[in-house]
Structure 1
């Protein structure tokens, strides 16, 4: 058996979907981004039952109400993970059982984008399920163990996100609420609203794009919505662009954003640039050290 090396031509020819998350304050218009996607090619995972903002949108949706349903939809969309044992979620046995319930997964071939609204609610469903599992109770006293529940919650959420992230042929976008608070030094910080800390800390490393949908102001002081897409930004918003194709600020149109991500890649020399800040001018009463 030859070493299964994937050649450069084969790798570049593979169909790859964009995986990303979009965070923003409540009411900024995250769900309304569905209007910027092709309804015939988009599957809406409606966890919030907040589809009033897209009343009249012609796309299809699914509405999981429990964490078990969330896991079932994930394995149905992403297929089985052959590395897992039969008793584990997302295993071949789990996939076979879900296919027996839902039918042929080829029914999803017409969708190229999965829009999950929201990861905040998914985290709540997951935590509610975790609180009823044996790991959430002390072995000695039988009383609830919050640390055990949060530990299980972190593992469950990361496994769910990882499985959807490995759905190579489809775009998967997670939407979530962004909290704003002050830290111990009275500095403004932003944090995704997800139960537990593990998911929020590891999520940026799981996806290609982390985008904040924010309200910015023009030079004249007029507010406008925008996508903040680069890690280095003056507002401190969480952001990341693995493609190297996005500007710091992009228009809040998810369809055109994905089209830009798929444009020809920039040369490697242009993707990471270094421009040092200008030197501070020397005080008037002191000589310039560079003179």
Structure 2
């Protein structure tokens, strides 16, 4: 090995990589009251830690698992550091650094206390963004140099940095499933076209979050043309409902049973898809692919 090569650097072989235990990192979203928090009942209570930011545990009253209650941003950030471990890319004076991690371990206890949990269920990122925004408004760097008043643009800029840092740190937690619950809003653009988006403070977090996690699942009620309406998970980006969704595993259908525990089992143990087959798409015929004069004129 070259003397200039860091001792921690090494190539991970294909066999080692395939044997690694990887957690599922996902967002579970849906409108208010659809039953997102109640998905806790589908998880193994002995192996799940409920991170409660909403104080809305009435839906899971009697759920026999462990819970942590978070009401301020400093505690939310410390908890993410404790769960995710230190980030070697951070300086000692930054959150999630080795020094910060050691401080948090002295505060919370030995991180081996988390070994019993396979899944961390965070409810919700919508509330997390609000308490983060409250914290950001009190930071000295968002005060105007001219008059000392709050610079709202600076506060939103800090909010985006803090939320993305927090979510990314949780996403990098090794060997644990991380599920982030978020409220879904129905909005309209400037042309009156409706669309769905996560309810979070600021635009940066909502735009970047789908790229951070592996799965984005929308819990919704589907009304078929015939028969009764039913609840289901919408799991794929291309879906007829316009809901936010994403599946990196390639093992989920557009519609899945609304049971988070079984969904994770399917992601882990579903029939693996050949990479080449997964990237094969039906193309239109040559005649359909060439625009007609009418289509060209209307473009």
User: Same fold per TM (> 0.5)?
Assistant: yes
2:212 equivalent among 206, 215, 229: 206
1:52 equivalent among 39, 58, 67: 58
Q: State whether structure 2 residue 112 is matched by structure 1 residue 106.
A: yes
Aligned residues: 280
| Cα distance between partner residues in 2 of 1:52 and 1:270 | 45
| Cα distance between partner residues in 1 of 2:284 and 2:133 | 45
Q: State whether structure 2 residue 160 is matched by structure 1 residue 154.
A: yes
Unaligned runs of 5+ in 2: 3-8, 289-299
| Cα distance between partner residues in 2 of 1:76 and 1:210 | 24
- 1:276 to partner: Cα distance: 4.3
2:273 equivalent among 266, 275, 282: 266
| Cα distance between partner residues in 2 of 1:163 and 1:21 | 15
TM-score for both structures, normalised by structure 2: 0.91
- Counterpart residue number, 1:285: none
TM-score for both structures, normalised by structure 1: 0.93
Q: State whether structure 2 residue 131 is matched by structure 1 residue 125.
A: yes
- 1:275 to partner: Cα distance: 2.6
Q: State whether structure 2 residue 108 is matched by structure 1 residue 63.
A: no
Secondary structure (helix, strand or coil) at the match of 1:262 reads helix
| Cα distance between partner residues in 2 of 1:208 and 1:152 | 25
| Cα distance between partner residues in 1 of 2:279 and 2:185 | 30
- 1:238 to partner: Cα distance: 0.6
Report matched runs for 1:53-202 at 5 Å.
53-202=59-208
- 1:18 to partner: Cα distance: 0.2
- 1:219 to partner: Cα distance: 3.3
- Counterpart residue number, 2:16: 10
| Cα distance between partner residues in 2 of 1:271 and 1:252 | 25
Structure number with higher helix proportion: 2
Unaligned runs of 5+ in 1: 281-291
Q: Deviations over 1:110-155 (max 9, x none)?
A: 0000000000000001000000001221112211100000000000
Secondary structure (helix, strand or coil) at the match of 2:243 reads coil
